[in-house]
């Protein structure tokens, strides 16, 4: 964990109002993957600053935002401004390059795992296993982006391969926790986990795991 990240996390905690983490079930300490809703750019910031287990977690981070050369294209693709607004030409000419100067040093200072979208994705999984072996948990934002601070509602599934790798290399049945970040209530709500079952092929579990995550990240409500 770098000094930049420590300073910014401390500043956010100091100057923002108090947040709380609410668990549907008490956390048992077993190795886990936490899957929050994205909540725009503020979701990852609040998760890293206020989640009560953040110091024991490594977050998956898009490699495109960790490399200054790739940031401008990523920012334009992700629409950091309202498409078609009057100031779009100005934003397009400035924001991507400001982000390229500021964001990568911060992310490289954070306890993160770069996520690649090509053959290098194997590095992502290898580093994730290394962190798990160190006793760290993972934070993975699974929602598919839909431009300008929104998400599709659909969830990515490729990351689920980490469950089979953890079992194959560590004999660990990872627990997956759906997490709802509520910016208005300043609350991080952690639903009960879904646990990977090594006796069932991943493809046969995938739909149930994703359905549980989708429900947990969208409502932040527990069943009676």
Give per-residue pLDDT as tens, 11-39: 988 888 899 999 999 999 999 999 999 87
Per-residue model confidence (pLDDT) at position 19: 94
DSSP notation for 67-105 = STTTHHHHHHHHTSS-TT-TTHHHHHHHHHHHHHHHHHH
106-118 confidence digits (pLDDT tens): 888 899 999 998 8
Low-confidence ranges of the chain (pLDDT < 70): 1, 78-79, 145-153, 220-224
Per-residue model confidence (pLDDT) at position 98: 92
Global confidence as pTM: 0.88
- Which position has the token pair 């639903």? 191
Per-residue model confidence (pLDDT) at position 43: 86
Delimit the domains of the chain by residue range.
Answer: 3-67+108-219
Residue 171: exposure state from Cβ atoms within 10 A (0-12, 13-18, ≥19): exposed
The CA distance from 52 to 62, in Å, is 23
């Amino acid at each position: 964990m770098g000094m930049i990240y420590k300073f910014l996390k401390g500043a956010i905690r100091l100057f923002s109002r108090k947040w709380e983490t609410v668990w549907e079930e008490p956390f048992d300490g077993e190795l886990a993957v936490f899957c929050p809703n994205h909540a725009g750019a503020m979701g990852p910031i609040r998760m890293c600053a206020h989640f009560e287990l953040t110091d024991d977690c490594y977050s998956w981070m898009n490699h495109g935002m960790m490399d200054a050369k790739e940031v401008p294209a990523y920012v334009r693709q992700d629409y950091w401004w309202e498409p078609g607004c009057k100031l779009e030409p100005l934003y397009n000419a400035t924001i991507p390059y400001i982000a390229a100067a500021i964001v990568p040093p911060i992310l490289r200072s954070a306890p993160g795992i770069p996520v690649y979208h090509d053959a290098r994705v194997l590095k992502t999984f290898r580093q994730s296993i290394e962190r798990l072996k160190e006793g760290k948990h993972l934070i993975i934002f699974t929602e598919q982006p839909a431009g300008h601070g929104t998400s599709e509602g659909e969830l990515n599934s490729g990351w689920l391969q980490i469950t089979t790798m953890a079992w194959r290399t560590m004999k660990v049945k990872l627990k997956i926790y759906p997490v709802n970040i509520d910016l208005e209530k300043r609350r991080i709500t952690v639903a009960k986990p879904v646990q990977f079952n090594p006796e069932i092929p991943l493809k046969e579990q995938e739909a149930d795991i994703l359905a549980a995550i989708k429900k947990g990240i969208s409502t932040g409500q527990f069943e009676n």
